[in-house]
Structure 1
Amino acid sequence: MVNITKKSNTLRKAIASATVRVSKQETIDAVVQRKVPKGDVFEFARAAGLFGVKRTSDVIPDCHP
């Protein structure tokens, strides 16, 4: 492994996007109105994004936490 002790911190920004295809208009309406029985889809997506960020160093080679 490469020693990064003396490396200065760098501010980085990542932007992600997704396309979701849904076959029923009622599903889209439920998501937009936040009435999905299992919970708020948008909040779940935000939480999943945070979990993904925390696992970056496990998935990308030579990416240090």
Structure 2
Amino acid sequence: MKSKKYARVDEARCVACGACANVCPRGAISVLHGCFARVDSEICVGCGLCGKTCPVGCISPVLREGAA
């Protein structure tokens, strides 16, 4: 069963440092072309480590569709 939340990156604020990808225990985050990070919501379990690690605070948890 998937978690109710997953991480979402504000691509406009992301500095592509890779800190989030380095701490993700599931490998759900990748840095694309050195421009911004992207989260694979199918893999992400919403643990929040990436958001706590992000130096610019551009990662936040969001509810999955249908989660209450």
Length-normalised TM-score, structure 2 = 0.21
Is the strand fraction higher in 1 or 2? Answer: 2
Which protein has greater RCO, CA pairs closer than 8 Å, 6+ apart?
2
Length-normalised TM-score, structure 1 = 0.21
